[in-house]
Amino acid sequence: MSAAIPVDSKNSGHPIGVFDSGIGGLTVVAALRRTLPGEKILYLGDTARVPYGGKSPETVTRYSKEISDLLVAEGAKMIVAACNTASALAVPSLSLSYPVPLVGVIEPGAAAAVLATRNGRIGVIATRATITSDAYGKAIKALDPAVSVTAVACPLLVPLIEEGLFDDDITRTMLRRYLEPLLRAGIDTLVLGCTHYPLLKSLIGRVCGKRVTLVDSAENCALAVRALISPSGSVLPEGESRLDVLLTDSSEGFLRIAEKSLDLTIDSLNIRKVGK
């Protein structure tokens, strides 16, 4: 991410493009809202093809490029992949030649975890594709080779979250099953390696207990975006703050739940077809 090009100052009034496989990436939008309150944000949730976690790297890369191209065509000055699977599998290759900055959430989350751990044992929960890529393990080890990383794929969490089951017996049972090996390994820090997961943060915290620090990359990703928009660290001028949302299939019920949970105001909502 550090190699990403700064945002062109001529595009200062253009929106930040953000995408995820569904609605979960609105957790990153909420962090961007807090960090960059004067920015326009154009969010695309690929609700027709969610989840990305079980798809091949080639498919995830194709989806990510189709969405990024659409957001750029709509005037986005940069692209934020608010999706850990896309960040792990697509961003490294796409960002090398993309016409605007394209950043993901892996490196900010890894950096926050390394800073947070006290005993050097970090756990990661994510989709199967993110875990298989070992993107977090590699990023964490690059920062501190002495840290131990234990990762567990949680393929059922995104569908449960998309159904709005934030505090349900089924969700609680699955979390206990997924988290048990991590807690047995003695982790003191847990990376929520999917942007959907912060919507379960309260429940995850209760299952893990107070000794485990929860890390989601949304806040650190927002800081990385600010650094690209204002490399000098200067105070950014207030602009026309608005949030426009595009979905690739109707998912308005859960969208409204997420909107309320994250204290977001959506200015417009439209359905947009992406790809073939």
Query: Over 80: is that where the pLDDT of 235 sits?
Result: no
- Residues in Cβ contact with 63 at an 8 Å cutoff, skipping those fewer than 6 apart: 21, 46, 49, 52, 55, 86, 90, 274, 275
- pLDDT value, residue 198: 87
Select which of 154, 194, 208, 221 is catalytic.
194
Q: Which one has a higher pLDDT value, 237 or 173?
A: 173
pLDDT tens readout for residues 192-204: 998 889 889 999 9
Phi, psi of 172 (to 5 degrees): -65, -40
Residue 208 is among the residues annotated as catalytic for this protein: no
Q: Indicate whether 248 pLDDT > 90.
A: yes
3-state secondary structure 88-125: HHCHHHHCCCCCCCEECCHHHHHHHHHHHCCCCEEEEE
Is there a catalytic annotation at residue 154?
A: no
pLDDT bucket at 8, cuts 50 / 70 / 90: low
Confidence of residue 23 (pLDDT cuts 50, 70, 90): confident
CB atoms within 10 A of CB 80: 31
Query: Residue 229: its pLDDT value, please?
Result: 87
Indicate the average pLDDT of the chain.
90
pLDDT exceeds 60 at position 224: yes
Regarding predicted confidence, which is higher, 5 or 136? 136
Q: What is the rounded average pLDDT of the residues 247-253?
A: 82
Domain ranges of the chain: 9-104+219-271, 106-217
* Overall fold of domain 106-217: Rossmann fold (3.40.50)
> Are 85 and 20 in contact, with CB atoms under 8 Å apart?
no
Q: Write the pLDDT tens digit of every residue in 127-163.
A: 888 899 999 999 999 999 999 999 999 999 988 987 8
Q: What is the CATH class of 9-104+219-271? A: alpha beta
Q: Which carries the bigger pLDDT value, residue 241 or residue 15?
A: 15
- Taking the CB of residue 271, how many other CB atoms lie within 10 A of it? 13
Task: Give yes or no on whether 9-104+219-271 and 106-217 have one common fold.
Answer: yes
Given the residues 83, 154, 208, 221, the one annotated as active site: 83
What is the rounded average pLDDT of the residues 83-99? 92
Whether the pLDDT of residue 216 is over 80: the answer is yes
Confidence tier at 2 by pLDDT (50, 70, 90): very low
